[in-house]
C-alpha cells in the first residue's frame, strides 16, 4: 500500500517537475531542485510512526499534537554533495546527522 502511494505521488510530481527543471537558468534550477528535495523529505517524515501527545502552552492551555515514536537521525552521504541535508535540517531543527564517506 505504501509503495503504491509513493509511486503515485512520484508519478504525479515527475511530469510537473521535469517541465520546470528542464531549460531553466541556474537560480531557477536551484530553487526548484531545493523545493523538490524538501517535498521528498517531508513525505518521508510523514511515513514515520508517531503518537498523539498533549502539551501545556505557556498560557496554560492544553494543545493536542503529535510526536515521533522514536528518536530520528539522518545520514548524509558526502560524495553525493549532501543535497538533502539542508532540507532535513529545515524540517527537523534538532535532528542529529551523521556523515558517510
pLDDT digits (tens, 9 = 90+) for 73-84: 998 888 776 888
3-state secondary structure 51-76: EEEEEECCCCCEEEEEEECCCCEEEE
Position 59 scores a pLDDT of 95
Q: Is 37's pLDDT higher than 70?
A: yes
Q: Which residue carries 505557556 as its cell?
A: 58
Q: For residue 91, what are the β-bridge partners?
A: none
Top pLDDT among 10 and 61 is at: 61
Amino acid at each position: 500500500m505504501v509503495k503504491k502511494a509513493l509511486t503515485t505521488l512520484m508519478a504525479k510530481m515527475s511530469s510537473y517537475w521535469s517541465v520546470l527543471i528542464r531549460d531553466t537558468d541556474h537560480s531557477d534550477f536551484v530553487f526548484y531542485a531545493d523545493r523538490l528535495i524538501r517535498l521528498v523529505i517531508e513525505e518521508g517524515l510523514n511515513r514515520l510512526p508517531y503518537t498523539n501527545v498533549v502539551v501545556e502552552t505557556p498560557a496554560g492551555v492544553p494543545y493536542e499534537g503529535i510526536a515521533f515514536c522514536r528518536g530520528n537521525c539522518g545520514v548524509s552521504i558526502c560524495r553525493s554533495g549532501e543535497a538533502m541535508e539542508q532540507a532535513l535540517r529545515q524540517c527537523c531543527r534538532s535532528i542529529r546527522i551523521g556523515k558517510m564517506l
